[in-house]
Structure 1
Amino acid sequence: MSFNTDEVNILVHRYLVESGYSHSAFTFFNEGGLDKTNLRAADVPPGALIAYLQKGLEYVSIEEHINEDGSLKQCEEPFTLITPHICSNLKKTEGRLRKDGRSSASSSAQDLLLVPPPPFPESHVALMKEHTKEVFVLAWNPRYDMLATGSGDCTGLLWRLPGQTVIMSDENGRPIYEEPVVLRHAMKGTEKSKDVTCVEWSRDGEHLLTGCYDGIARVWGRDGKLEHSLANHEGAIFALKWNPSASYVASGSYDQSAVVWDTATAQPLKKWARIHEAPILDLAWRNETSLATGSADKTIKLLDLKQEGSEPLQTFRGHTDEVNTVAWDPTGALLASCSDDTTAKIWQADSPTCVQDLKEHKKEIYTIRWAPTGPGSDNPDKKKLFASASFDNTVKLWDVEVGKSVATLTRHPKAVYAMAFDKTGDYIASGALGGSLYVWSVKDGSIVRSFHGGGDIFEIAWDRRGERLAACYSSGKVAVLDFRK
């Protein structure tokens, strides 16, 4: 199959003639040198250019949506010539809603034959089913007994959850909870591309941020009333964070840009347009004015509001695949990152090369977390630790000073997608595709609690007291697990 430029030009010329652009057609005919060929517009079938474009677009759409087994992905989003296509099932989960099910390798047979770990008692479990689609993100309020969740059903929900061991139960032992406040991100009939990708509370617990696939960040009061809509992006928001004092909000988007907003005026304070060459997947504030952004372009940028112009203070290079997560340690001196290249790296702000290259995982690393221990934390006398969760089905705990893992937590049968330390740093919870959730002792690596809620786990979080654990699922459920004895 082949064609030459003259054939392309005659198709364009025929289109111009059919569309009534006679002057443009005359000019194009001569400037394209068509008068020197034997090709004539009259020899081209009517509508040929449009027909070829439609067939080509159909082929590209199929190529984009075909799975490895030959089946087609379900996608409701239109496929167009110009606008970048984002699948309706392209999920991030603090979305980064894009890696669902990419790894489903099983653990060893020996692991699966181990004695089952102790489960959460049924009386300590509440399953809430108000969302109608996948629940991608959640966050506990840092001051009040409230939980925020965000879903593919275009809503966020605010749950008021009393602090007793069992939320409340009816005569059959089923949990009862107050009806949640609904944060609607779309009017009825306009739900496409309105998945909620991010939720984050301000430090005082009075305001909630939500990011959405429509490119708009929203600020809500604790009562569920919409306070501001922050619109400056041209694509889905994948990262959204308050700075420490909640005076600024930073957003990172599919459009490769980062924006910092003044929360007092709800106006953009500074925009780094196309600061990356691919979507921004995560960001992390270092202090009141500087932040790091991680991107699918394999780089990390250090940005500062005090810096004139739109150039980054530093560009960290070293990853060979998408950067999924970035996180500063409690002192703000060390930046951790993880990537699809199977490595985690530790950086210092004044150097473009990493100071630690952690290479023990065998597959993509999706999530990293610093323990709330060591200098700058609420537990300064405990050892500084760092954790990584991978699609190789494991969680690793690292001693960053020596650059080696001190524990490998192996029990999940599928890719580990989410994890969180409790406030003491003594326990770490992990959740995986397939629905397995474990709470591990950091001290000895043993499993102290387990739960299986059905569906893939996208995110988990501890409440402010370290007493309850919440997990959200691809099935639309939210589980609240009471960790108290």
Structure 2
Amino acid sequence: MNTSSDDASSTSESVSDNDSDNVPVIKKSKASTSAGLLSEHNKDNNEEESINSMHRNHPPSVTLEDMITDICFHPKLDTIGIASITGDVFMYKYNNEETNLVSTMELHLKACRDIEFSEDGQKLFSTGKDLCIAITDVETEKLVRLYEKVHEQPIYTMTIINEHVFVTGDDDGVVKLWDLRQKGSEPIFSIKEVEDYISAMITNTDAKYLACTSGDCLTTINIPERKLHLQSEDHGDELTCLGLFKMESKLLTASNKGKMYVYNWGEFGLHSDEFPNATKKAINCMIPVTENVVITGGEDGIIRAISLFPYRHLGIVGQHNFSVETLDINNDGTLIASSSHDNDINFWNVQYFESLNVTEPQKGGKRKWLEHNLPSSKIHNRSDFFAEL
């Protein structure tokens, strides 16, 4: 959920979250009198208000003055943490009517690269370009622990393994394992098996293997034995993000060329499935929303939903003006948040995936489904707009 650049800036206007949320349904009036026209007009207004209410069941957007580098939902509360290029972390409380800034924590001297909440939500872990790891008490906003200059290169990504152990990966391909029960600032394990930056890391409930993407291969580490487990075949394109599906039995990774590869968990040498590059644009981030549906954020600014088994593009969840860099999902799985280089956080209600039939046959061909707007999108499909004219 990180951006690949901490030094970029953007002054572009963000997409409006007001009038663009919904396009009113146009109906052809059959009334021939002014009274009939007025009645039809009132009916249309009521229907439009109903549609607006349905599609605005998400918090308003958040806009920062500085570039957003990561986002993370609180695991218990309706709160989202937002990391910035200045090194600060902003905490916002949200509901469907408003998003309010409740605290600002100045945690790093340089760009804050990654933020993660502990499982109980009491602590916030953060990493920065200043080579530091900070652990902060969320309620008191006091620093609990600080690891200073613990990597030689800036830390790019971080993953919490359990209540005691977490892992960091840096721009030079170094992975370090940390145990909070240990005193001092030394990791319990360090390994470097790749030359490129560590773009993403993930483990499952058992926490036996840690899967890391870097460059064109997948590297797995045996966590209990603290050693390299296996490296995959070269993919020929840069792997960018990871997700777990099918009760953690499937590992999905995506690339800068828009391809996706599926691994059976525990069988990391060779991928079991490969999905083609539908748009040939980089997939920067992904988030599972069901055991079978992944939402991806693309270089083209489009947030798409994809069914994995069967493989099928379900449509567009939302849009940004620029490349989508971060995605996260809230504690009850009903909202996702996304950010782009326009310094905005947008929220999208994805509750409809609970009842979405992903096995329904496609109509209209590949292009139509790549451009199909799902209920969370702020843009209506043209066919919907003209359906009742």
Q: TM-score, normalised by structure 1?
A: 0.57
Evaluate the alpha carbon distance shift between residue 266 and residue 464 of structure 1 in structure 2; reply closer, same or farther with a 3 A threshold.
closer
- Once the two structures are TM-superposed, the CA of residue 293 in structure 1 deviates from its matched residue by 0.8
Residue number among 274, 299, 302 corresponding to 2:174 in the alignment: 299
Does the aligned pair in 2 maintain the 1:203–1:244 contact within 8 Å? yes
SS in structure 2 of the partner of residue 271 of structure 1: strand
Contact 1:230 1:267 in 2 (8 A): no
Query: 1-side partners of 2:186 and 2:136: how far apart?
Result: 18
Paired position in structure 2 for 1:432 = 298
Shift of 1:359: 2.6
Q: Secondary structure at the match of 2:113?
A: strand
1:97 aligns with 2:5: yes
The separation in 2 between residues aligned to 1:180 and 1:479, in whole angstroms, is: 6
Q: Which of 75, 99, 103 does residue 203 from structure 1 map onto?
A: 75
Return the letter of the residue paired with 2:110: G
Q: Does 1:170 align with 2:48?
A: yes
C-alpha displacement of 1:334: 2.0
**1:333–1:349 contact (8 Å) kept in structure 2:** yes
Which structure 2 residues correspond to residues 123-162 of structure 1 after superposition, within 5 A?
A: 129-130=16-17
The alignment status of 1:419 with 2:291, answered yes or no, reads no
Does residue 241 in structure 1 map to residue 116 in structure 2?
yes
User: Matched residues in 1 for 2:7 and 2:272: separation?
Assistant: 27
Larger radius of gyration: 1
Rate the CA distance shift 1:320–1:214 in 2: closer, same or farther, 3 A: same
Mapped contact 1:412–1:432 kept (Cα < 8 A): no
2:199 corresponds in structure 1 to 324
Q: Which whole-Å deviations, capped at 9, do the CAs of 1:363-382 have from their partners, x for residues lacking one?
A: 211111222614xxxxxxxx
Q: Report how far residue 272 of structure 1 moved.
A: 1.2
Secondary structure of the 1:354 match is strand
| Aligned equivalent of 1:282 | 157
- Which residue matches 2:247? 373
Distance (Å, rounded) in 1 between the aligned partners of 2:173 and 2:314: 37
C-alpha deviation, 1:349, in angstroms: 2.0
Q: Indicate if the aligned counterparts of 1:317 and 1:353 stay in contact, CA closer than 8 A.
A: no
Contact 2:254 2:260 in 1 (8 A): yes
**1:363·1:390 contact (CA, 8 Å) conserved in 2?**
yes
Give the aligned residue type for 1:317.
K
Counterpart of 2:88, as a letter, is I
Question: Is the CA contact (8 Å cut-off) linking 1:472 and 1:479 kept in structure 2?
Answer: no
Cα separation, 2, equivalents of 1:169 and 1:470 = 28
Structure 2 equivalent of residue 266 of structure 1: 141
TM-fit CA distance, 1:302: 0.9
The structure-2 alpha-carbon separation of the partners of 1:469 and 1:248, relative to structure 1 and needing over 3 Å to count, comes to closer
* Secondary structure, counterpart of 2:228 in structure 1: coil
SS in 2 for 1:362: coil
Structure 2 residue runs of 5 or longer lacking an equivalent are 9-13, 19-45, 357-389
Q: CA deviation at 1:326?
A: 1.8
Selected match of 2:208 from 325, 329, 333: 333
Would the alpha carbon gap of residues 262 and 438 (structure 1) be closer, same or farther in structure 2, given more than 3 Å must change?
Answer: closer
1:386 aligns with one of 240, 244, 251: 251
Assess if the C-alpha contact under 8 Å between 1:437 and 1:450 holds in 2.
Answer: yes
Change in Cα spacing, 1:435 to 1:213, as seen in structure 2 (3 Å) is closer
The CA deviation string for residues 300-349 of structure 1, in whole angstroms up to 9 with x for no partner, is 1111221111101111221211111122222222211111x211211122
Cα distance change on mapping 1:414 and 1:182 into 2, 3 Å: closer
In 1: Cα distance, 2:175 partner to 2:79 partner? 28
User: Which residue identity lines up with residue 56 of structure 2 in the other structure?
Assistant: Y
Higher RCO (CA 8 Å, separation ≥ 6 residues): 2
- Counterpart selection for 2:261 from 391, 396, 407: 396
Would you tell me which structure has more strand in proportion to its own residues?
2
1:443 partner amino acid: F
The 1-side partners of 2:303 and 2:57 are apart by 25
Aligned length: 313
Q: After TM superposition, give the deviation of residue 357 of structure 1 in Å.
A: 1.0
Pick the aligned partner of 1:214 from 86, 89, 102: 86
Provide the C-alpha distance between the structure 2 equivalents of 1:477 and 1:195, rounded to a whole number of angstroms.
Answer: 11
TM-score of the aligned structures, taking structure 2 as reference length = 0.69
Structure 2 CA distance for partners of 1:208 and 1:421, relative to 1, 3 Å: closer
**Equivalent residue for 2:231, pick from 338, 341, 357:** 357
Unaligned residue ranges in structure 1 (runs of 5+)? 1-92, 101-126, 132-167, 186-190, 375-383
CA RMSD between the two structures = 3.4
How do 1:422-461 residues align onto structure 2 when only pairs under 5 Å count? 422-423=289-290, 425-435=291-301, 437-450=303-316, 453=319, 455-461=322-328
Counterpart AA for 1:349: I
